[in-house]
Structure 1
Amino acid sequence: MVNHAKRQLLKAGSLAALALGISRPAIATTTTNTHPPISTKNNILSQRQLGHLTVSALGLGCQGLGQNMYGVPQPSRQQAVHLVQRAFDHGVRFFDTAEAYGPFESERIVGEGIKPFRNHIVLATKFGWDIDQQTGQRTGGLNSRPDHIKQVVDAMLQRLQTDRIDLLYQHRVDPNVPIEEVAGAIQDLMKQGKVLHWGLSEAGEQTIRKAHAVQPLTAVQSEYSLFFRGREKDVIPVCEELNIGFVPWSPLAMGALAGYIDENSRFEADPGKDLRGIIPRFTPEAMQHNMKLIQLVQKWAKRKLCTPAQFSLAWLMVQKPFIVPIPGTTKVHHLLDNLGADDIQLTADELTQFHQELEAIEIVGLRLPEAILNFSEAK
């Protein structure tokens, strides 16, 4: 008989698993690949360094290609592959996915999409959830046992149709497995040539330091945007100290900073249809307050003759030279809009003025439901 504490843990784990995209097995299909020959003239984005790894200044977050997270129609496999290839055509050289997205479907799509230019891009994916690699079934919990990591990586390589993973993240810190053991497993995979660099996602300063001492980290991934700046006080400073890159996920706050949400927006209560329906900062009451930030971004975007999405991404990139946002999208026109952020310049005077206005605004509501935050605030 399951006791109350265990039921609560399983409930929290199931919610986190659903929100992070491991809710259903994916159906494999095939896509005809018609990408044209590679041309260097397409290299139109600037470059940045994640540790010693060179990437484009903006990457493509590929979660939405494998599952519907924010109330938008699911793209077909062919449409998703096309988006990946258009991203490459316009200078993206950094693609971010995870086993949890689908599960597995995003990895399959990315693997198919990057085949024509695999050697010209940096491929990142993530492990760490307890997912059966054959069936896609999950427990809702975490699993970073070394033997499981190695099993997952072998399955990833097949799904991604490649012989190595350029950047492998631990998706969430597993409290049941010392981070030193995780780092040791990654070392073994590096010796085999299956993994070239590694990183952590949603990890705190202590964990970062312990992991880095065993096997130097290349990047740390965490939520960071004008809507959530908490990592400015802990993770980003340690990344700067240790020469670790920082990769913001949800850099457009799930569409809010791009102007797709306002105080009248309402979301599905079912998180399987729209995760924002269970996120506190997107409740109608919270959005009455949070519109002040959206309006500030819109004002400054108009001043800079750019879109709100471009301004928000440009603001992120100007914070530190080792910050590389990975906005996700399922639409080519949104992709092209996001990439335009690379051309936006913000002067020191403009940043000072903007920050004075920004500091006067308080964001209301947690960035994630508490059940998911329990997996996302490891020290």
Structure 2
Amino acid sequence: MDTRNLGALTVGAQGLGCMGMSEFYAGRDDDESLATIHEAIDRGVTLFDTSDMYGPHTNEELLGRAIRDRRDQVVVATKFAIVRDPADPAKRGIRGDAAYVKQACEGSLRRLGVDHIDLYYQHRVDPNTPIEETVGAMAELVAEGKVRHLGLSEAGAGTLRRAVAVHPIAALQSEWSLWSRDIEAEIVPTARELGIGIVPYSPLGRGFLTGRYTSTSDFGEGDFRTALQPRFQEDNLRKNLAIVDALRALATERDLTPGQLALAWVHHQGPDVAPIPGTKRRTYLRENLTAAEIELSEEDLSRIESAVPADAVAGLRYPESGMQSINR
């Protein structure tokens, strides 16, 4: 697999998002998830992404089990800051204070079973704690050898500038796909100016751009997409199917799936971009990895973007309350 540079950190061109292996999407099969991680490593994937809030905690434990005898082959990325209520995990807050940064890191190290985290992100920016305090505490973890590189998730341009004044930031993780392009105008140029690599999560629109879903009934019971995400509510979903139809028409010309074409588009957004499509099944892992090898011309990219206009998506990424913590 080709590599990408996220600041001073080198990773495979495509990583693996592990969130759905433990929570949020219907169905859980730890054996298949472990097999998927192992096959990803065998196929050259190096960047594996998790968070202490996935599960909560169980996703880090799963990844730790998977890499126990393969630690030197992987780049472990995890995140902190979203705090879930033990009595009601649906309730959550955000913490970026120095004391919590250190507490969260110790917990992640323990659950992952590693002596250092390769890429440590603040999952969401805490509006009540100056970013300088948060990144300062993260920098202390680097000095202690517990963390190698720092990242921010869903941070705005101004936050990025303030953060790098404290310590180099290797990566910005934000949602970026054909149907989530709000970071392109200001945030991506700022990240590039500052030497920050970009790690798009949900590059397949949380699976929607694969064409597998045509109705809310296609999602399993308890799937958070239909429960919480406006784009997957029935009225919006029906409107958004036109996006997939247009994408499928172009993909058919290349004997590709809509998802492969959508993911290839993300790969072509720059040499500093390393998407982390999530899956818990080896079948979809193989399909996604093919996308990293697809060549698209400028004409191809133009046709794709014309078929899927940035303003064509119906519905927000998150409910209004969730959008308040995006690009902050």
- TM-score normalised by the chain length of structure 1: 0.82
- Indicate the residue corresponding to 1:75 in structure 2: 29
What is the alpha-carbon distance in structure 1 between the residues aligned to residue 305 and residue 54 of structure 2? Answer: 35
Structure 2 residue corresponding to 1:155, chosen from 101, 107, 131: 107
Q: What is residue 264 of structure 2 aligned with on the other side?
A: 314
Identify the residue that residue 216 of structure 2 maps to in structure 1.
265
In structure 2, the partner of 1:301 is 251
Structure-2 separation of matches of 1:297 and 1:241 = 32
Separation of aligned partners in 2, 1:102 and 1:243: 32
Structure-2 change in CA distance of 1:269 and 1:81 (3 Å): closer
* CA separation of 1:90 and 1:372: change in aligned 2, threshold 3 A: same
Question: 1:130-182: CA deviations, max 9, x gaps?
Answer: 358xx797661111111111111111111111110000000000011100001
* Aligned CA distance change for structure 1 residues 180 and 136 (closer, same or farther; 3 Å): farther
Q: 8 Å contact 1:266–1:284 — kept in the other structure?
A: no
Pick the aligned partner of 2:186 from 222, 234, 244: 234
The equivalent of 2:305 in structure 1 is 355
Aligned to 2:3: 47
Which residue number corresponds to residue 33 of structure 1?
A: none
- Which deviations, in whole Å up to 9, do the C-alpha atoms of 1:66-123 show, x marking residues without a partner? 21x233x1113x3322221111011111000000000111100111111222112111
* TM, length-normalised to structure 2: 0.94
Give deviations 1:315-343, integer Å, cap 9, x for gaps.
00101111111111111101111111111
Residue 41 of structure 2 contacts residue 73 of structure 2 at CA under 8 Å; is this kept in 1? no
Look up the match of 1:6. none
Tell me the distance in 1 between the aligned counterparts of 2:311 and 2:327. Answer: 24
2:272 aligns to what SS in structure 1?
coil
Structure 2 residue 169 is matched with structure 1 residue 217: yes
Does the C-alpha gap of structure 1 residues 48 and 241 become closer, same or farther in structure 2, counting only changes over 3 Å? same
The residue aligned with 1:144 is: 96
Measure how far apart 1:269 and its partner are: 11
Aligned to 2:314: 364
Q: Is 1:90 the counterpart of 2:46 in the alignment? A: no
Q: Distance in 1 between matches of 2:8 and 2:252?
A: 36
CA–CA distance in structure 1, aligned partners of residues 88 and 168 of structure 2: 32
* Structure 1 residues 360 and 190: CA distance shift in structure 2, 3 A: closer
Deviation sequence 1:219-273 (CA, Å, 0-9, x none):
00111111111111121111111111111111111111111112x3337798x54
Q: Which runs of 5+ in 1 are unaligned?
A: 1-44
The 5-angstrom pairing of residues 144-183 of structure 1 reads 144-183=96-135
Greater Rg over alpha carbons, structure: 1
Q: CA offsets, 1:204-231, max 9 Å, x none?
A: 1111110011111000011111111111
CA gap 1:220/1:179 in 2 versus in 1, 3 angstroms: same
Aligned residues: 327
| Contact kept in structure 2, 1:267 and 1:277, CA below 8 Å | no
Shift in CA distance, 83/280, structure 1 to aligned 2, threshold 3 Å: same
Aligned-residue sequence identity (percent) comes to: 39
Secondary structure of 1:253's match? coil
User: What is the aligned counterpart of 1:130 among 83, 99, 106?
Assistant: 83
What is the match of residue 35 of structure 1? none
Measured in 2, the distance between the counterparts of 1:128 and 1:115 equals 25
* d(CA) in 2 for partners of 1:136, 1:54: 40
Alignment partners' CA distance in 1, 2:115 and 2:29: 27
Instruction: Determine helix, strand or coil for the equivalent of 1:232.
Output: coil
- Name 1:276's counterpart in structure 2: 226
